[in-house]
Amino acid sequence: MSLAAKYPEEVKAIFAKYPVKRSAVMPLLYLAQREDGFITKQAMADIATMLHLDTTEVASIVGFYSLYHDQQAGKYRMQVCNDLPCALRGADKFLESLCQNLGVKIGETSADGLVTVEAVMCLAACDKAPMFQMQAGDKVTYHENMTVDRTLELVNALRASGLPSEVKP
């Protein structure tokens, strides 16, 4: 079922806010992602058709922004910033050690389906690296000046509670 057929009122409301149709691309992507936590190729094609864009243009927006996803993941997405300034503060070693401890490679989900570890560029906290953002549904939390041990404590707390949790730096 197309996005417009599935959510006719929401799509209509989104279009009412944007006099230029293509400007509605991001809210439509958010709508498409809301239900399953990721945007299917079919949803991207639907959005492209509605906005008279090429599917590649829509997919490039999904690929650029770290809050849009084109693949299913664990309950939590742990997105570790590893651009150059963060790497200079140990982000690469942090990411490598974290993945080893969780038994995953970058982009993979833990065996229990809880956490998907991703590498992303620039979360705007270079001076507080290693850092990551944790996404769970619509909620995003930021964790700065992290160590692998404190991050594993956070993961264990999530496993124990099933609810988003914060570990203070």
Kindly report the CATH number assigned to the domain that includes residue 16.
1.10.10.1590
Q: Are residue 104 and residue 154 in the same domain, yes or no?
A: yes
Would you state the pLDDT for residue 66? Answer: 82
Would you state the pLDDT for residue 94? Answer: 96
- Residue 30 in any domain: the answer is yes
Q: Are residue 155 and residue 84 in the same domain, yes or no?
A: yes
Q: Could you read off the pLDDT of 134-156 as tens digits, one per residue?
A: 998 778 999 999 999 999 999 99
Read off the pLDDT of each residue in 23-45 and give the average, rounded to a whole number.
92
Q: What percent of the chain has pLDDT over 90?
A: 75
Would you state the pLDDT for residue 162? Answer: 61
Nearest CA to 154 out of 125, 133, 127 is that of 133
- Residue 155 in any domain: the answer is yes
**3-class DSSP state of 139:** strand
Place of tokens 């956490």: 115
CATH number of 110's domain: 3.40.30.10
* Per-residue confidence band for 168, with pLDDT thresholds at 50, 70 and 90: very low
Q: Could you read off the pLDDT of 77-126 as tens digits, one per residue?
A: 999 999 999 999 999 999 999 999 999 999 999 999 999 999 998 899 99
Tokens of 13: 């409301």
Would you state the pLDDT for residue 137? Answer: 79
Domain assignment of residue 97, given as a range: 76-161
- CA 10: distance to chain centroid? 22
Would you state the pLDDT for residue 101? Answer: 96
Task: List, in order, residues 6 or more apart from 161 with CB less than 8 Å away.
Answer: none
For residue 163, pLDDT over 90 is answered with no
Which of 15, 30, 64 is at the close of a domain? 64
For residue 49, pLDDT over 80 is answered with yes
Task: List, in order, residues 6 or more apart from 158 with CB less than 8 Å away.
Answer: 75, 76, 114, 115, 164, 165
Which of 64, 86, 115 is at the close of a domain? 64
Into how many domains does the chain fold? 2
- Residue 137 in any domain: the answer is yes
